[in-house]
Structure 1
Amino acid sequence: MSKLESQSHQYTPYDQIDKEQLKKDIEEAKETIGAPSEEDFQHLLKMERWGRIATASGFALILIIALMELSAGGISGFVFWPLAIVAAVLISTGNVGRWANVTHPVLHGAYDKVPNIPNKYKKKYYAQGSRRYLDWLDWIKPDAWMYEHNIMHHYHLGEVDDPDNVERNMQWLIQSKTPMWLRRIFVYVFAGTWKFTYYAPNTLRILRNKKLKEDNKMEILDYEYDPRKPFGFELWWDYYIPYFSVHFILIPALFLPLGVSAVITALIVLVIAEFFANLHSFLVIVPNHSAEDIYMFNEPYKGTGEFYLRQIMGSVNYNTGSDLIDYAHGFLNYQVEHHIFPDMPLSFYQKTQPLIKDICKKHNLEYRQESVFKRMSMTIDLMVGKTKLLRVDGV
């Protein structure tokens, strides 16, 4: 449905939706799909293989570049940069795929109920302790991300307590006197660095706030990057240093037998890949709940039916269609279905989408689904203060 059609169509107001019937319809739809099975797990393994193939191909290309430099005594920029960019794209694709297509569902416990599944694919074991270095080593610490994302974001969607409420998080920029063109430049730069400038400190802050609240102490209101202070020390020691040392020191050093130039080549490619991974993840994650047609709420939901309603009204899907399309989107193109059923396998969302669409039509609810690039443009408008989220009166 186009934006013009959406504006001309009168959807049922929030307070007039039969939330109990909505709950019944959604849960009946879930029952028709059935419990997670070996088929769902094999689908996950296929998505994991795709990511590993992309990563391995990227590093293989770095090796080819290094061997070309070694045998020819150097290669021209016309050869080096295209190969380096392709290698960076492959590595970044594997990086985002590991987070979105494997880590995300596994840490939601999406495959825990699959019979005889290996422990390493269960929420309790995945990326825990030393397995962080094997399963998912990134700027973000797994336990902090699980609490920030699985609990605070999913069960406070669009509320003040939602740590990923973009409009609220960007108020410092929106309320500033910064020219609009400069605000947009900032957003573009931020998108290329957001995993370590936003996600790492924000997930730590949310986790520490939880512990402080439990101890009846004051909240940490701001990030603190100073390594001489507790927050800053933990941020550097547990978040930044592990990923940086492995990704930008250890891995490039593995190319040292081929010469210093090979190490430099690997480092260049990995820095570019990191920038691409930030852009890619920003593109598929941030627009899911951020635009002028998305709702925010002033009070917590009451009951499962209202929870389901808010996930529909507070989320948007991107284009879907095949495993390849879905992989490129990190399966975040099924955000409505994922927020309704956060602990279900990736393949479950492909099966559930037409059912949820029909339920929305039955209840006269808007089911948003558009190109990720269009949604990104709308998100940027929100981030710079050109537009605002919708409010539900009294909610």
Structure 2
Amino acid sequence: MKAMQTTSPPIPESLEQLEHLDYAAFGAELEALHQRLLANISEADFKHLRKIEGWGRICSLLGYATAWLLPNPISALLISTGQMARWGCLNHHIRHRGYDRVPNIPKRYTSKGFARGWRRWIDWPDWLVPEAWDFEHNVLHHYHTGEKLDPDILEDRVQLMRRIKAPIWFKYAVASFFMVTWKLTYYAPNTLWILQQQRSRPGRKGLEERIAGHQPAIFHGAPLWWPFSKGSGEFWLRCVFPYALFRFALLPALFLPLGLSAALNVLLTSVLAELMTNLHTFLIIVPNHTGDDVYRFEGPVSDKAEFYLRQVVGSANFTGGRDWQDFLQGWLNYQIEHHLWPDLTLRQYQLAQPEVEAICQKYGVPYIRQSIWKRIGQTMRLLTGQIVMRPLKTRSKQEREKELASV
């Protein structure tokens, strides 16, 4: 299925367009579209998901079926792509409840079954603890997008990198290391640390106070790497050891009947695949909310209309539209639509994209849809301190009502 290819409007230097936005009408049109898309979810969406899942499984099977012959980048790329698909195409959307409305869907493909408990090692084996990712991503990132409480604001997470006086080539070298290891070195400890804080200080205020009072030089979860620091035991026992044993011991050991060299070849190929899938996922995830044309915000939203505006101007889409393009981008090229409505299926995002863009153009709301390579360029410049993100003061429901009352 091919989504409509259109040219995104330029991001205005002046915020005049947004200052005169009819929030209520804009929000109402988007909400009406959301309800139509929800009503359109059917068993066809599950059939489509199974097709995409099949592509990922084929990649994994072909990768391991050839990895034992000799360590090689082709097998590693296939394994890497299969791993990416489990996270980007399946776990991400299933645990967002995207498929909970599909009639007669098996529980293992719903938010209550996928990667829960022991099924983690079948559905989504990775460094990350699924429930830690759920809270960090599904709750904090999605419902505090661009705010101080959003854990995924790259500009805030890499302050040391941005401020340090070092040659650009050195910054790119450091960035490259984290790009090929980021799930282990950054994302797994950070998501778990945030979950640990939520357990001890539930509620927005308590969590905000804890995060504000904990500003390490690198990132919040970095202390978990030290074996005797508070909470580090959970990190090592739930993130590092289990996945390392699964990926780099158990899977290679399955090839021992073919000889020790076959198992070693699988091990080496698996290590290369891990570096590749880290790079792949970094490049399709991080650029979604970075750039000097993407906005960030102060304070929480006041109503759904303000929420919708923030999700659009605080996110960026990649071009795509065909299944194979969307698959390779982990279906994250529909970031704006996904942030508006996290509870849709892969197929519904393809249908939603041109309609959302048309609504944004109608109301003069900036809508970014560019090549992934352009967005990666924005990300690297932001990461190395060459650009900054745009602050935006959106109008709350109370402010809008006050303005209407004064007219």
SS in 2 for 1:296: strand
Equivalent residue number for residue 3 of structure 2:
none
Task: Return the alpha-carbon distance in structure 1 between the equivalents of residues 230 and 386 of structure 2.
Answer: 37
Quote the offset at 1:32 in angstroms. 3.1
Q: Check conservation: 1:89, 1:276, Cα contact below 8 A.
A: yes
Equivalent residue number for residue 388 of structure 2:
388
Q: Check conservation: 1:191, 1:282, Cα contact below 8 A.
A: yes
Task: Return the alpha-carbon distance in structure 2 between the equivalents of residues 181 and 2 of structure 1.
Answer: 33
The residue correspondences of 1:1-395 to structure 2 (distance < 5 A) are 6=10, 12-33=16-37, 34-63=39-68, 65=69, 80=70, 84-214=72-202, 219=210, 221=214, 222=220, 223-224=222-223, 225-393=225-393
- What amino acid maps onto 1:313 in structure 2? V
Task: Return the alpha-carbon distance in structure 1 between the equivalents of residues 318 and 75 of structure 2.
Answer: 27
Give deviations 1:222-272, integer Å, cap 9, x for gaps: 432123344111101001111100100111111112222111111110000
Task: Return the alpha-carbon distance in structure 1 between the equivalents of residues 330 and 312 of structure 2.
Answer: 19
SS in 2 for 1:391: strand
SS in 2 for 1:214: coil
Moved more, 22-31 or 108-117: 22-31
Task: Return the alpha-carbon distance in structure 2 between the equivalents of residues 10 and 173 of structure 1.
Answer: 30
Quote the offset at 1:304 in angstroms. 0.1
Task: Return the alpha-carbon distance in structure 2 between the equivalents of residues 98 and 38 of structure 1.
Answer: 20
- What amino acid maps onto 1:347 in structure 2? R
Task: Return the alpha-carbon distance in structure 2 between the equivalents of residues 367 and 8 of structure 1.
Answer: 11
Give deviations 1:131-178, integer Å, cap 9, x for gaps: 111111100010000000000000010000000000011111112223
TM-score by length of structure 2 reads: 0.88
Change (3 A) 1:11 1:360: farther
Task: Return the alpha-carbon distance in structure 2 between the equivalents of residues 345 and 19 of structure 1.
Answer: 26
Q: Check conservation: 1:14, 1:392, Cα contact below 8 A.
A: no
SS in 2 for 1:154: helix
- What amino acid maps onto 1:342 in structure 2? P
Quote the offset at 1:195 in angstroms. 0.5
Q: Check conservation: 1:159, 1:296, Cα contact below 8 A.
A: yes
Task: Return the alpha-carbon distance in structure 2 between the equivalents of residues 103 and 121 of structure 1.
Answer: 9
SS in 2 for 1:55: helix
Equivalent residue number for residue 398 of structure 2:
none
Unaligned runs of 5+ residues in structure 2 are 1-5, 215-219, 396-407
Task: Return the alpha-carbon distance in structure 1 between the equivalents of residues 102 and 298 of structure 2.
Answer: 38
Change (3 A) 1:137 1:27: same
Task: Return the alpha-carbon distance in structure 2 between the equivalents of residues 188 and 267 of structure 1.
Answer: 23
Change (3 A) 1:102 1:176: same
Unaligned runs of 5+ residues in structure 1 are 66-79
Q: Check conservation: 2:45, 2:347, Cα contact below 8 A.
A: yes
Q: Check conservation: 2:76, 2:276, Cα contact below 8 A.
A: yes
Task: Return the alpha-carbon distance in structure 1 between the equivalents of residues 394 and 30 of structure 2.
Answer: 25
Change (3 A) 1:362 1:9: farther
Q: Number of aligned pairs?
A: 377
Q: Check conservation: 1:193, 1:278, Cα contact below 8 A.
A: yes
Q: Check conservation: 2:81, 2:277, Cα contact below 8 A.
A: yes
Change (3 A) 1:239 1:364: same
Q: Check conservation: 1:11, 1:364, Cα contact below 8 A.
A: no
Change (3 A) 1:394 1:331: closer
- What amino acid maps onto 1:17 in structure 2? L
- What amino acid maps onto 2:103 in structure 1? P
Task: Return the alpha-carbon distance in structure 2 between the equivalents of residues 2 and 125 of structure 1.
Answer: 40
Quote the offset at 1:99 in angstroms. 0.4
- What amino acid maps onto 2:67 in structure 1? I
Equivalent residue number for residue 217 of structure 2:
none
- What amino acid maps onto 1:23 in structure 2? G
Give deviations 1:72-116, integer Å, cap 9, x for gaps: xxxxxxxx56xx111000000000011000000011011111111
Quote the offset at 1:386 in angstroms. 0.3
SS in 2 for 1:110: coil
